[in-house]
Structure formats: C-alpha cells, structure tokens
Chain A
Amino acid sequence: MAEDKVFLDPTVGWILLALFSALWIGLGVYWGRRNKSFEDHALAGRNVGLALGTATAAATWITSNTTMLAPQFALQLGIWGMLAYSTAAFGLILFAPMAKRIRHLMPHGYTSGDFFRLRYGRVAWAIFLVFTLFYSLTWLVSMAMAGGILLEALAGIDYVWGMSVILAVCVIYTMRGGLAAVIGTDFIQSLIIIVGICVTGFAVLQNVSVSEIHANLTATKPALLDVLFPAAIMAIFNNLLFGLGEVFHNNVWWSRAFAFRDGVASKAFLMGGLVWLPIPVAAGFIALASGALGVAVPSADMVGPLVIAEVLGGVGAVAIFIVVFCSLASSIDSLLAATSDLITEDIWRRLLHPKTSVEGLKRAAQWVTLALGVLTWLVCLPRIGTLATVLFFAGPLVGSMIWPIVTGLYWRSANTVGAVGAMVLGAGIGLYCYFAIGWYVATLIATAVSMVWTLGACAFAKGRFDWTRLKEAA
C-alpha cells in the first residue's frame, strides 16, 4: 500500500471521523434505550421490518473488502474476477428460503450454535464453535486492521488512532444499542455506500467512455478481457462457495433471520442480495477504467481510492473516506453483535450459567462485546500485516459447513456422523489443498469433500430426525 500517498487533509479526516463517530454513538444510545432483555438486545425484539431488514443484509455484506478488494479482483482477474466477486451475493439470495425455514423450525432460536447443538449434538456443536469463532475473530481483526490502514492511507491519520477510534465507536454503540442499533445504523450506512459508489461510477463515465476503456484494456491488459483467463475461471466457484459458507453458517445472518418479523426474512435476504449484487461490479468497473484514465496504480489494493480521487478530486477524497468508514462500521458492528450473542448464548448460558436471568444475559452480552473489542484491539495493535491474510484460511472451514447446514434444515436423514465427518474431513482436506495447490481450490475442494461425505451418511442413515426437537423453548 502506498502509505505516503494521502488523499485528504488530516484535519478534514479527523473532523469527518469525529462527526460520524458522534452520529453512530448517538443513534446507538437512542435506539438501545428500550432494550430490557437479552431478546431485545440480541434480536431487536424479533420485530425488524422489510426496509431495515433489506438494508442490514446488504450493508453488512458490504465490507471494506467490497469497496477495496472488488476493484483489486477486477484489476488482477479482469471481467471474470469482477463477476466472481459479485457471486458472493448468492450467499444472501440462497439464504432467503433458508431463513424462512429457520424461523419456522426454530421460533425461539437465538444463534446458529443453537441449530448445531439441537440438530447434531455436542460434538458437532463444539467443532462448529471452533470454526465459526476462528472465522468471526479473524474477520473482525482483518476489518479493524483494514480500518486503521485505510484511514492512514486516505487521510494520514495514525494507524493506531484510526483503528482504535473505529473499534471504540462500534463497541460503544453495539454495547448500548445491541442489534437494533446495528440494524438502524446499517440502514443509513447502506444508503451512503450505495450513493457514493453510484456517483463515482457516473463520474468515471463522464471522464472516459466504455469504448475507450475497452480499447485501453485490449491494448495494454488483454488478459483482463479474456473469457478463458484460467486464474479468473478458477476463482469463480471458489469465491461463490466461500460466500455461501460464510452466510450459511455465521451468526451474523442467523441472528437476523431470528430478528426479522414473520414473513420478512426471506424477502429481506433476497432483496439484500439483489441490492448487493451490482456493487462489486460497479467497484470493479472503476478499477478497469484506471488505465484509460491514465491513473498509475502502485499497488492493487489502492486502485479504488486512486481512481476516485482522480475523477472527483477533493470531493472524491471526502466521499471515499465516508464510504470506507461506513463499510467498516457496518461490518464491525454486525460481527461484534453476532459474535457476542453467540458467546453469550452458546457458551455463557448453555455451558456455564444456564439459570441466568434475561436481564443478566443482556448484561453478559454487553460485557462480551466489550471484551471482544479489547481483544481485537490488542491483536491489531502491533500491526502484523500477515494476520489479515489468516482470514483466507477460513475458506475451507466455512465451505465444509455448507452441506451439514443445508441438509440439516431440509433432510430428516441428515445425521451427526455425516455432519461431524463432513466438517472434519472437508476442512482438513481443504486446508491441505490450500497449501499444496493454492487458495483458489481450497474452499471448492472442502465443500466437495463435505458434500460427498454428507450424501453418503444420509444414504446409509437409519434414523429420521424429529423436527420438533428444534423448537426448544428459550
């Protein structure tokens, strides 16, 4: 990353940071004032409507990766890379019918951990908790680190200060407001992000035409337009299955399925996925225009800000700063809330203190959110760049959980041997392939192995699951 390149005056950067921090914290405190119980705090009273539901699904899935990594994918893997990134929308789109089923089967459920515990027993639940906490914590660390690095690159704000402020703001309003605050702020953040990306796309087209971009790519980067670009072809389904695994297993999405009002979940996830689908394409298009605009790109991960600063000047620098801040906040808050709820419900209540009152659980969730924030801050403090790449190891882990979840929701024949074997074998072989072959096959192989094992276990299963066992009272 070109750390010496600053797009925005640091004073302006600090002012924007202070304004948006005050806004999110103020809204978080306001929206959280009615939370009395753990259900209010963790699931917003199970009463979230369609507009907020759609916005939170889209905004949570728009991370700093969507605005920064999608252009990098386009620059490295071309048109296919851009489309490969956008296939992550299928995670939300396919989760839509699953969310309806989840609400139907588990009307009193709180977390995705509840599903694993009730459907497959304690061994599968333990493996799930290890996998999902690894994924969630590495995602959280990578987002917080990205926040510090991006604020430093965009506005010259010191890494430690930028990372600390973003994390502290998200921890405060998530602690105070719970899921209601997360969903409410997501609504505003999603609007800002979408408007920012649309304005940038149109500004690029004001400066250079599609035919000029095509001519420049044909002359200077022909592989980016090649339909048979091998690396890009391999990335398509690996990325798609990574996205499916992330959404299907993680409590970020399950908690929303439980929180949405009856009849809302499937529509909200479907619309959220459709809203998200074109965003990586728009962000990637910005990167493909860099050559035609004469923008020299020193490192792939900065292509988005460089092009935006080129076409929009000072306004663009302010816009990208706000969009990046919103993208980071909308993901960090969701992860903090969903992970703290998972730890509170699955570890605190189910394993350690089953008799805790609803008010006590709410307080426990708030303390867990704070502890998660402090832990993340401590891990991010030394700025070990390679930590962020650990997130990519999670691909085989999340891929191996797709089939146990899907069959567990729809097939009575899905069973513990199938789920445990699918997760252990899929993740193990997938991780081996990650190191032996490359990242671009790891999730795919893990999902394929997990699928074959699950299908075999279901075919040989004698027992049939009783769906009413999932309707455990809170």
Chain B
Amino acid sequence: MHVGWTSDEPVTLTLTDPQGTVRPVYNGTGDGIFLSGLADGDYALGLVGESGARADPITLSVEHQSLSQALWLAGLGALVFLLTVIVILRGTRGEGTDG
C-alpha cells in the first residue's frame, strides 16, 4: 500500500509492529512510500518532521486473504494447466488423430 504525506521539511516515518518494535521506514524529503510484505496484525505509523513536529499516528491493520481459498484456486489452476499440457503433448505425439 502507498502511504503519502505533505510536509515542508524532511520527515521520518516509523512503523511499530504488533510486538511493539519500532523501526524507521523512511527518512528524507519525499512525499510518500510504498509498504508491502507485512505479516498479519495491527501496526502504527508515526510521522515526525525535522523540527520535531508530529503528525497524528495512523493505525494499519493487515489481514491477508484466506489461505484455503488460495490453495483451492491454485489446485484448480494446476488441474487446468496440466490438462492443457497433456492435450498438447499427446496431440504432438499423435498429430491429431482422435476419433
């Protein structure tokens, strides 16, 4: 996800993970950053300007899609792909002589 802000001065963006560990994720004069790859859980984002000015913290909840749905769809995809490969390879060997 994209996190954006407006500021006239350099800023530091910190991320607090569900275990309470705080780490900086951005430091500079830009106006946004792309965050990805976070595990499930509630996170807090804090933005601090060089002068010490602070923006209101933002809470971020991460909840990935259902793993069972993903595996079910992957299974269906594997079946469709496998059958497609079989038709091509058998057809190549037999050169379309069915029926």
Contact = CB atoms under 8 A, between A and B. Distances in A.
Interface of A: 2, 75-76, 78, 90, 94, 97-98, 100-101, 104, 217, 220-224, 226, 228-231, 233-234, 236-238, 240-241, 244, 296-300, 303, 402-403, 406-407, 409-413, 440-441, 444, 447-448, 451, 461, 464, 467
Interface of B: 2, 23, 25-28, 30-34, 36-39, 64-67, 69-71, 73-74, 76-78, 80-81, 83-85, 87-92, 94-99
Nearest to A455: B83
B77 A413 contact: no
Nearest to B3: A298
A447 B91 CA distance: 19
A127 B94 CA distance: 30
Contacts of A75: 34, 36-37
A451 B83 contact: yes
Contact of B37 (A94, A220, A238): A220
Contacts of B99: 411-413, 461, 464
A103 to B, nearest CB: 13
A231 B92 CA distance: 35
Given A75-B37, A223-B64, A233-B73, 17 more contacts: A75-B36, A94-B85, A97-B89, A222-B39, A230-B65, A233-B70, A234-B65, A234-B70, A234-B74, A237-B80, A238-B77, A296-B26, A303-B34, A406-B84, A406-B87, A440-B73, A444-B77
A97 B23 contact: no
Given A78-B37, A220-B23, A298-B30, A410 B81 contact: no
A424 B87 CA distance: 22
A interface majority secondary structure: helix
Given A98-B88, A410-B91, A231 B31 contact: no
A222 B19 CA distance: 14
A221 B38 CA distance: 5
The 10 closest A-B CB pairs, nearest first, are A237-B77, A221-B37, A410-B91, A230-B70, A224-B37, A233-B70, A97-B92, A230-B65, A410-B96, A223-B37
B88 A240 contact: no
Contact of A222 (B37, B70, B97): B37
Contacts of B38: 221-223
Given A228-B67, A299-B32, A407 B87 contact: yes
Given A224-B36, A230-B66, A241 B81 contact: yes
Contacts of A447: 80
A298 B4 CA distance: 8
A444 B73 contact: yes
B64 A231 contact: yes
